Structure 1
Amino acid sequence: MADSFLIEKCKQNDRKAQLELYRKYCDGMFIVASRYLKDGAAAEDALQEAFIKAFQKLDQFKGDVTFGAWLKRIVINKCLDIIKARKMEVQSLDDGVLHIAEGEGDWDIGEQVTMDEVYHAIDSLPENYRVVVKLFLMEGYDHQEISEILGITESASRTNLHRGKLKLKQTLKHLEYGTGY
């Protein structure tokens, strides 16, 4: 069934349509939630809460993006809310001290490094760097969007991305030369 038809049925509180829409998107959205919340149960809880919120706010879905993209943003925001609720300690940044000139094309890594090693290295970053790196690289958000999502300045987003990138390169360099973590 097409998403638009299912969405219209869901707006009328059709439980079968809600279940079908849930089944269509739950696996992919669980993967998204798992990128942010390492605990499978927490990712599952975030997913359930995101779907509940999506069904409650379905009248706000205008169709200017795909339903999947709209739902993904809700899932990510729910995960970030959970991270914030855990009283994530974020290193404060003095915006005036460091201004990063972004070179977005300098993410090259050695040929010997596998994608699994890259994902593991990203997961090993400190929380504030990891979240910004994932939002930027994996989800494709720009610094303005990241700043709005996380409630930080664009400069802080750039700085966290830059510092995360440096830590990643350092970690991956050790892997490339066989010195391990």
Structure 2
Amino acid sequence: MFHIDIIEQCKKNNRKAQMQLYNQYCDGMYIVAKRFLKDAADAEDVVQEAFINAFTKLHQYNAEVTFGAWLKRIVVNKSIDLIKARKADFVALDEVHLKVVDTEKDSKWLVDEAITLSDVKTAIEKLPDKYQYVVMLFLVEGYDHQEISEILGISQVASRTQLSRGKVKLQELLKLKKNGARY
């Protein structure tokens, strides 16, 4: 069964096709949710809700993006909704997915060798929520400002501004750590 055929079968409420699509994406979507949520059970709940939502609204999927990207957006939105509802903190990042800087484009973002991944994780967790969301979505999840503005319900200018300010605060926190001060 081709990927498009599976989606078409899912639109017809074919449970076998739905299970196949779920099995194909559930682990990856769990990782995405877990990056945002501290609790494994919360991440599992978000993934389940995202799949229910996706299967319910599958008729809205128009293949402009891959199904995985469409589903990832649902997972990210549901994760942020849960965080906002609980006013929770962001979870530590997974090493594999951390993309702190693009050194070619932004050389001032070079991080001192003494700064560890743990330091970066802690610093991101210390950012104010409005900066933390944008920093996570941009630097970790790889969303652009248009996508961030849609997800968070802010303008693209606000997304750029909050990212810029978030980066400055993150650099300050990392500089403090380098100089021996504690967070």
Identify whether the pair has TM-score above 0.5, normalized to the shorter chain.
yes
- In structure 1, the partner of 2:42 is 42
Question: Match of 2:109, SS?
Answer: coil
- In structure 2, the partner of 1:171 is 173
- In structure 2, the partner of 1:97 is none
Partners in 2 of 1:160 and 1:34 — Cα distance? 23
Partners in 1 of 2:123 and 2:70 — Cα distance? 28
Please tell me whether the aligned partners of residues 32 and 75 of structure 1 are also in contact (alpha carbons under 8 angstroms).
yes
Pair 1:23 & 2:36 matched: no
Structure 1 pair 61–172 and aligned structure 2 pair: CA distance change class (3 A): same
Q: How does 1:146-161 map to 2 (within 5 A)?
A: 146-161=148-163
Structure 1 pair 87–173 and aligned structure 2 pair: CA distance change class (3 A): closer
- In structure 1, the partner of 2:132 is 130
Displacement, 1:116?
4.1
Structure 1 pair 124–87 and aligned structure 2 pair: CA distance change class (3 A): closer
Question: Match of 1:49, SS?
Answer: helix
Please tell me whether the aligned partners of residues 135 and 141 of structure 1 are also in contact (alpha carbons under 8 angstroms).
yes
Aligned length: 166
Pair 1:107 & 2:109 matched: yes
Displacement, 1:108?
2.2
Letter in 1 for 2:81: D
- In structure 2, the partner of 1:11 is 11
Please tell me whether the aligned partners of residues 3 and 67 of structure 1 are also in contact (alpha carbons under 8 angstroms).
no
Compare 170-179 and 16-25 and name the one that shifted more.
170-179
Please tell me whether the aligned partners of residues 122 and 168 of structure 1 are also in contact (alpha carbons under 8 angstroms).
yes
Q: CA RMSD in A?
A: 2.3
Partners in 2 of 1:79 and 1:178 — Cα distance? 34
Partners in 1 of 2:48 and 2:136 — Cα distance? 21
Question: Match of 2:30, SS?
Answer: helix
> Which residue of 124, 143, 146 maps to 1:144?
146
Identify unmatched segments of 5+ residues in structure 1.
89-103
> Which residue of 120, 123, 128 maps to 1:121?
123
Letter in 1 for 2:125: D
| Alignment deviations for residues 24-48 of structure 1 (CA, whole Å, 9 cap, x no partner) | 1111111111222222222221111
Partners in 2 of 1:124 and 1:40 — Cα distance? 21
Partners in 1 of 2:67 and 2:163 — Cα distance? 28
Letter in 2 for 1:40: A
- Give me the TM-score of the superposition, normalised by structure 2: 0.78
Partners in 1 of 2:15 and 2:41 — Cα distance? 24
Q: How does 1:66-77 map to 2 (within 5 A)?
A: 66-77=66-77
